[in-house]
Amino acid sequence: MKVLIIGAGGLTGRYLVREAKRRGMEVTGLIHEELDITRADAAKEILAKWKPAWVINAASLTSLEKCEEDPARSRKINAEAPAEWAKECGKAKIRFVHLGTDYIFDGKKSSAYLPHDLPGPLSRYGKDKAEGEKRVMKANPQALIVRLAWVFGHGGATFMSKLPGILTEKEVVELAGGRTGSCTYAGEAARIILDLAAKGANGIYHGVQAGQTTWKGFAEQAVEMMRAKGKKVACREIREVPIEKMAGLKISRPAFSPLDITETEKILGRKIPAWEKGLAEYLDEIGL
């Protein structure tokens, strides 16, 4: 099985490459420096060169602030290019998998979002990712979209990826409060994505771990797990701060965005582990 992973330099992309190789797949992972997915005819050229059975698009401009600063680039990467790749994969009978986000929702719902709930994005990033989903499915009805949320993993630039390390260094840790969502260890995300593709799933599915939490709840769980293993934890206090007062978080994010995984578990035929298990797996991976 030949698999092409584009955006392989990102957090989820790296774990996808690793998991696909572990499964014995023939994997080609292309990072941004090797492939600009927005380049004209890039999809047609790359597909003809590598001839994969699957293409997984893990490329995305995920910084909400950068998307607001450069909306044209956000639209190209998050909406227009994925649709072009979906179209070319459809023509060549190649399975296309695209990654989505919980940020397409407005956070006003009181229960976990279902795959076909209507989007209500609050940001340029959310708008372009929602548009990308719509365009991908129109260009290729057999495509698979897997939505992720609050992804963390080794070497990740996300706050949740960095949080365990911060807890070992700072006595007082301040983090954004007022937000509840799903979270996902990148290793489990990779397993879910590849399992869904192998099952022949198409349409929209959620690829997060079971349960929901806040950044504070995630931090408290990490502290408890690390101390239970005898690891050094400098943190003595975790403070929630209004998100609008957090440096670097000026763009609106949904206050409540857990994703329902019922349909995902149904097609996989297995229960997806709780986020706490993903956190424990991550802590073991980084030696904490």
CATH of the domain at 64: 3.40.50.720
State how many domains the chain has: 1
170, part of any domain: no
Question: Measuring CA to CA, which residue among 144, 64, 140, 66 is closest to residue 104?
Answer: 64
pLDDT at 180: 96
pLDDT at 248: 66
For the chain, give percent helix, strand, coil, nearest 5.
45, 20, 40
Which stretches of the chain drop beneath a pLDDT of 50?
none
pLDDT at 247: 66
pTM, entire model: 0.95
Distance CA(52)–CA(42), nearest Å, equals: 15
Distance CA(79)–CA(129), nearest Å, equals: 6
pLDDT at 244: 73
- Expressed as residue numbers, the domain containing 58 is 2-157+183-211+257-272
CB-based burial label for 102 (10 Å; 0-12, 13-18, 19+): buried
Q: Which tokens hold the place of 60?
A: 């995305």
pLDDT tens profile 12-66 = 999 999 999 999 999 999 998 999 999 989 999 999 999 999 999 999 999 999 9
261, part of any domain: yes
178, part of any domain: no
165, part of any domain: no
CA distances from 6 to 77, 90, 103, 266 (A): 12, 17, 21, 28
- CA 275 from chain centre, in angstroms, equals 14
